[in-house]
Structure 1
Amino acid sequence: MQVQAGPEATSSDGEAAEQLPADRGGIHLTKRLVAVLLVGAMLIFSIISNLTVYLNQRRQMAEARAQIIASNEHIADLLTEQERWSDPNYVRAQARARLGWVQAGEVGYQVIDEDGQPYGGGSGIDHTGASTSEDQSWWERIWSSVGEADAPTSAPPSVDDERVVTEGGATPTPGG
């Protein structure tokens, strides 16, 4: 009599009546293993995509913080400059340095170098393109002067250059 136990059929004498094919040595893919691998791949993909979004947001937040710090520093500089401009002595010093203004009763001097240019910089008007012919009408001369005034040749002197030359020699300006 034959009894079947499990996948193999055995005879009464204990020998295997039928043998299954031997292992092939490869990976057996079952439906369960494929499902687990697919779920794992989806989890890894979702984690990586969320991590990318998270890291991008962190980078953007750091850039925004740096921008805020730079803006706050710029605002502090502007407030300091506004505070300086509220001081009448500073305004006088700027008018003297930038515009060459003098107080009533003072004599203003402008030192020029060997090229005939003001020493120490200052604003000037470029006269290279200006036509000084007398055959222009008065409104054409005025309009050309507006165009010349709109194109200064150099920047105003720095704030540190607040010395005024008087008859007695170079002296610092009041408040400077």
Structure 2
Amino acid sequence: AEQAEEEGVTSAEVLVPCGGGGLTSGIALALEARTPSFRVRPCEPEGFDDTTRSLASGKIERNATLSGSICDAIITPQPGNITFPILKRLAGPGLVVTDEEALRAMALAFTRLKIVVEPGGAVALAAALFHGEQLQEDAAIVVTSGGNVDDEMFGRALALRG
């Protein structure tokens, strides 16, 4: 928020990888206190978009399964009982990305930003890169998290650069 203000950004959407909602709701609470004109948008992998669906319905929705995505670090059964009310109050609609989009975001993060990000930690960057039409503000701030990726998965991501 401070860096954005230094750059003259007064309103933005803050895209955050979301599993149970701890990181996302924590950021939302911090922004509410510091920069209420910034709005958090939870980002999730396709098929494991329990928070996105929960925000749309207004009640906690569960994922049908807990496996089947490369974004395993953020796959949870449902939004947290403590975190969901915070997200319901403060977050904008969720954004959903495919596994391939997460891999492409990993490759771009490495190539352009020189950072290594695991698949689940790359979903917010993937949302910004490949679903920008769903954003409502001119400015987007992206949170990436986690660098726990094995050689095979990272190789799959880098193969998409070409």
Q: Which category of TM-score, normalised to the shorter sequence, fits these structures?
A: under 0.3
Higher relative contact order (CA 8 A, sep 6+): 2
Report which of the two structures shows the higher radius of gyration computed on alpha carbons: 1
TM-score by length of 2: 0.21
TM-score by length of 1: 0.20
